[in-house]
Amino acid sequence: MSKKKINVGLIGYQFMGKAHSNAYRQVGRFFDLPVDVHMHTICGRHEEAVKKAAANFGWTNYETDWRKVVANPEIDVIDIATPGNLHAEIAIAAAEAGKAVFCEKPIGNTLEEAKRMLDAVQKAGVPHAVFHNYRKAPAVALAKKLIDDGRLGRIFHMRATYLQDWIVDPNFPLVWRLQKEVAGSGTNGDINAHIIDLGRYLLGEFDEINGLLHTFIKERPLAGEVDGKLGAKATTQMGEVTVDDVAMFMARFKNGALGVFEASRFAVGRKNYNRFEINGSGGSVVFNLERMNELEFYDNTAPNETHGFTLIQATDGCHPYAGHYWPTAHIIGYGETFINLVADAFTNMAEGKRIEPDFIDGYENQRILDAVERSSETKSWIKL
């Protein structure tokens, strides 16, 4: 083929590294992209582990120093899938090196970092993307289309939850995600950020919010290392949990809608319960990530006799992204949301268009995260 080749360098090889690698490996198999994506280099600090990841995930090369990846003239895209405390430094260096920068969410650990990152990519004029992958679930993109088509009319409400339960056990160790200096925040940046992005994507900008952060368990056993993985084992020493277990807020959107958002790691029984409901004068939609191929839609123009929520299987050729995979009702999974995201990103890059979501979205998201934190401290409404 005469397609342009795009070399990707990925920093990070844990959960997100695995998901991003799968996306690069699969994207050209399901999408007819304008470019050829090549998995050039993966990077991590532990040589044995990153070498193994390179082999497992299908990367041609590996590195242990991200600076070398950024400096490598062969590489076109730097993808950052590290813990949050490294995002800013890598992203800014990558932008300055003229690379496109793809970054996990939230882009920074603080609003200030996010601002510097946005400034850097804008100054450098490089493409940039942020991995708010749930926008790219077919059912969510269908919700967006229904809203854009006016099917929901004037929007009154959004209620969103992102509920998990993986740290309910007080003996669960103090892993990096529970340490502010590494993770930046707890549920706020990790999962509240996702539903905030869905709010911005589907309803537009927030106008004001009133938030509450809470930590149920304030001390945990320090994490021990097993097979190079920190946190796989608890030790007997205790340390302070410095992030939130719960982040929730009420909101007013600029379009006049009201919102209620709740993110928690203490919702026992809920594993990945990223659910939202939006009510408008024309209809309503409901999405739940645990059944991510489905969208419920209430059409308020339907006659009373047959009114109700319709369970749409967003797996049809007519639905966003779905036609690239399998026939109707042959479902896709979590991994495909990343494939869809990078498909869009490479396509827009090739066409010189803004990628969505990008660092502007990442920065705007972080403004809300920051406001939730300040609101919780001051116990007051914050205007955005």
**Binders of its own copies among 193-222, rule CB under 8 A?**
210, 212, 214, 216
Comparing CB distances to its own copies, the nearer of 18 and 115 is 18
d(CA 144, CA 81): 27
Hey, what are 122's tokens? 């804008």
Q: Write the interaction track for its own copies spanning residues 81-100; mark x where CB under 8 A is met and - where it is not.
A: --------------------
- 228: Cβ contacts below 8 Å, ≥ 6 apart: 46, 48, 49
Report the residue from 299, 347, 356, 384 that binds its own copies according to the rule CB under 8 A: 299
d(CA 355, CA 378): 36
When computed from its CA atoms, the radius of gyration of the chain, rounded to whole angstroms, is: 21
Helix axes 111-124, 359-378, angle to 10 degrees: 160
Comparing CB distances to its own copies, the nearer of 29 and 73 is 29
Comparing CB distances to its own copies, the nearer of 80 and 322 is 322
CB of 327 to its own copies, least distance (A): 7
Element (H, E) at 276: strand 273-280
d(CA 278, CA 247): 20
Report the residue from 236, 333, 351, 352 that binds its own copies according to the rule CB under 8 A: 333
Secondary structure (3-state) at 136: helix
d(CA 340, CA 30): 9
| Sole window of 101-109, 117-125, 177-185, 302-310 interacting with its own copies (rule: CB under 8 A) | 302-310
Q: Does 230 bind its own copies (CB under 8 A)?
A: no
Distance spanning both ends of the chain, measured CA to CA: 49
Q: Write the interaction track for its own copies spanning residues 138-167; mark x where CB under 8 A is met and - where it is not.
A: ----x--xx---------xx-x-x-x-xx-
Report the residue from 250, 350, 360, 384 that binds its own copies according to the rule CB under 8 A: 250
Q: Write the interaction track for its own copies spanning residues 346-375; mark x where CB under 8 A is met and - where it is not.
A: ------------------------------
Report the residue from 264, 340, 365, 366 that binds its own copies according to the rule CB under 8 A: 264
- 169: Cβ contacts below 8 Å, ≥ 6 apart: none
CB of 105 to its own copies, least distance (A): 16
Q: Does 332 bind its own copies (CB under 8 A)?
A: yes
CB of 256 to its own copies, least distance (A): 8
Comparing CB distances to its own copies, the nearer of 29 and 351 is 29
Report the residue from 45, 46, 48, 55 that binds its own copies according to the rule CB under 8 A: 55
Q: Does 176 bind its own copies (CB under 8 A)?
A: no
Hey, what are 227's tokens? 């097979």
CB of 325 to its own copies, least distance (A): 7
Element (H, E) at 26: helix 15-30
Comparing CB distances to its own copies, the nearer of 31 and 359 is 31
Residues 268-287 that bind its own copies (CB under 8 A): 268-273, 277, 279-284
DSSP string, 258-290: EEEEEEES--TT-SSEEEEEEEESSEEEEEEGG
Q: How far is CA 119 from CA 126, 246, 317, 358, in A?
A: 11, 31, 39, 12
d(CA 41, CA 82): 15
